[in-house]
Amino acid sequence: MGAKGDDVRAWQLTLHEHGLGPVCGPIDGIFGVRTDAATRQFQDRHGRMTNGVANAATREAAARGKALPTIVAIAESQLGVKEESKNFGAKLAKYWTATTYPDGMKNREPWCAAFVAWCVREAGRAEGWLNAGETNRPRSAAVRDWVPAAIKLGWRVFGPGDPLYFPAPGDIVVFKFSHIGIVTEREAYDVRTIEGNTGAQGEREGKYVMRRERGIRELCRSFIRPPQGKTGERKPETGKEG
């Protein structure tokens, strides 16, 4: 707060490019109250520590531009997939191959976790962090197994009220009503998601892969942050330097 100069001007321009111009105000090279508010909003959206400091972690998030995390792009490619009958359909079969329950569709089981497992597997393959045996990712078709599996793997797991970590695009969200999805965006107190086995009313036994909007505190139990990138190592994103 109070900094002046070309670096501040460049950061203000970045905030404008990310759609935060109305919050940031004029690009005047002065880090004032409005630039601080826009910085905090940017950090909140991107899962960084909300401290109003344009530190290395915040600038790294900005440098990645508006490109979607791989897992989000993969989930989006499945929008509109629909059951042919109760928990059954040719386009659903591939999701079950990413789980330890390949007969799940045959047995007409709910498929929201199978959908997420497939998205995680495809993202891991595309980014190069998935090992040959696929033992470094959750593979359960049961929602209740995902948080314990993620903790065992050393993935970041946090709740909706965590003071340091915030849901961001690419995170996996576990809901309070035995359902699971992939975060595509956060807006204030809600997350926008893509979910399998849902419907227009937001039910967990729907027919589609659809976009949904969920209240964070009302409906979300836990968030899981998968690896990202070629190394499979995603450092904790607290916004701290070093």
User: What single string gives the DSSP state of each residue in 128-145?
Assistant: T---TT-TTS---SSGGG
Question: What is the bridge-based pairing of β-strands 208-215 and 172-175?
Answer: unpaired
Given CA atoms 95, 100, 106, 109 in this order, what sign does their dihedral have? negative
Question: Given this model, what pLDDT does residue 45 score?
Answer: 79
Q: Specify whether the backbone of 25 is left (phi greater than 0), alpha (psi in -120 to 50) or beta.
A: left
Alpha-carbon dihedral angle through residues 201, 203, 208, 209, given to the nearest 10 degrees: 100
Which neighbouring-strand residues pair with 223?
158, 173
3-state secondary structure (DSSP) of residue 194: strand
Given CA atoms 73, 111, 224, 140 in this order, what sign does their dihedral have? negative
3-state secondary structure (DSSP) of residue 209: strand
pLDDT tens string, the chain, 242 residues long: the values are: 999 999 999 899 888 877 788 789 898 999 999 999 999 988 887 878 889 999 988 988 887 665 668 999 899 899 999 999 999 999 999 999 999 999 999 999 999 999 999 999 999 999 999 999 999 999 999 999 999 999 999 999 999 988 878 898 899 999 999 999 999 988 778 999 999 999 998 888 999 999 999 999 999 999 999 997 654 444 333 333 22
Which neighbouring-strand residues pair with 187?
190
**What is the pTM (predicted TM-score) of this model?**
0.72
CATH fold group of domain 70-225: endopeptidase fold (from Nostoc punctiforme) (3.90.1720)
d(CA 220, CA 223): 8
Question: Given this model, what pLDDT does residue 172 score?
Answer: 98
d(CA 67, CA 182): 16
* Residue 231, C-beta contacts closer than 8 angstroms, at least 6 positions apart: 129
Task: Please report, for the chain, the start and end positions of each structural domain, with discontinuous segments joined by +.
Answer: 6-63, 70-225
